[in-house]
Amino acid sequence: MATGDGQPRGPRGEGRGGGPRNFRRQRPKACMFCVDKLHVLDYKDLGHLRPMVTDRGKIKSRGQTGTCAFHQRMVAAAIKRARHMALLPFVAK
């Protein structure tokens, strides 16, 4: 069945992607910095910073890493400082 806007609809009127039957709630990831009770993140601490950067050199999002907003801001600032100090690459080669 199709509607006037050209979007296909299921037998119950759900849009593409299912609806209540295909919904699966994932458990939110715990912030690894909050778990370790880490309040200050240093740009020289590459052990914590490397997992937060993709293989292409981009900063991973909060959804991928599970960090809270407070620590994600600290991670972004520390990665940017580490890049300027040539500890982390700006881009992958």
| Residue 9 placed within a domain | no
Give the structural domain span for 69: 27-84
Please tell me the distance from the alpha carbon of residue 34 to that of residue 23, in angstroms, as a whole number. Answer: 29
Cβ burial of 45 (10 Å; 0-12, 13-18, 19+) is middle
Q: How many CA atoms within 13 Å lie on the side-chain side of 91?
A: 1
Q: Return the H-helix or E-strand segment holding 84.
A: helix 69-84
Q: What is the CATH number of the domain that holds 32?
A: 4.10.640.10
Q: Structural domain tally of the chain?
A: 1
| Residue 50 placed within a domain | yes
Q: 3-state secondary structure string, 21-83? A: HHCCCCCCCCCHHHHCCCCCCCCCCHHHHHHHECCCCCECCHHHHCCCHHHHHHHHHHHHHHH
pLDDT at residue 5, rounded to an integer:
65
| Residue 47 placed within a domain | yes
| pLDDT tens, position by position, 12-55 | 555 555 566 666 667 777 899 999 998 899 999 999 999 999 99
pTM for this structure?
0.69
